[in-house]
Amino acid sequence: MPELGRDEQAVPGIANLDVGRFRDRILRFDESYAGDWQSWVDTLQSKNDVARNLGRVLRKWQACRPNRMRRPKSERSHDPPYLEDLIADADRSVQTLQDFDLRLLTSFTQHAQGALEQLWDIFQNLSY
């Protein structure tokens, strides 16, 4: 795994865990998240109402609560950016990471790291 820069910090939720505790967390992982992920993948493949489905999935996830999550443009319930805008902004980075494999150190190229950083910057705007 690449080293973090001086101004970066690891995610404290997992960074300080030993292997046993990390494994325990994985075993306690709520299976509904896997179903949500599959629903999201299916949505991407069908290209059917992508923004609405992304919002629906993310609003269910505890990591996104209690934040107010952005909505599709059709709802116009907040000022831009809308979910469609964030998805469009993320497209190039997502394409860059198409073959990215978290398990392989060789995946952590400068190009991939730049794409991950861009996604982080874009999706920090998921809540408002």
**Could you tell me which of 60, 63, 79, 82 has the C-alpha nearest to residue 71?**
82
Residue 70 within any structural domain of the chain: yes
Please report the pLDDT score of residue 4 as a whole number. 46
Residues linked to residue 69 through DSSP beta bridges, in sequence order: 127
- Give buried/exposed letters for 103-126 (b at 16+ CB in 10 A, else e): eeeeeeeeebeebeebbeebeeeb
In a domain, 11, yes or no: no
Q: Render pLDDT for 86-104 as a digit per residue (tens, 0 to 9).
A: 999 999 999 999 999 888 8
As for how many domains the chain has, the answer is 1
Cβ-contact 127, 68 below 8 angstroms: yes
Rounded distance between C-alpha atoms, residue 9 and residue 38, angstroms:
30
The string of pLDDT tens digits covering residues 47-76 is 888 999 888 888 888 777 788 899 999 999
Domain-located, residue 2: no
Is 112 a domain residue?
yes
69 phi/psi in degrees, rounded to 5: -90, 145
In a domain, 80, yes or no: yes
Domain that holds residue 72: 17-123
Is the residue at 85 inside a domain?
Answer: yes
- What is the model's pLDDT at position 31? 84
DSSP structure string for 113-128: HHHHHHHHHHHTTSB-
Q: Examine residue 101 and state whether it is found in any structural domain, yes or no.
A: yes
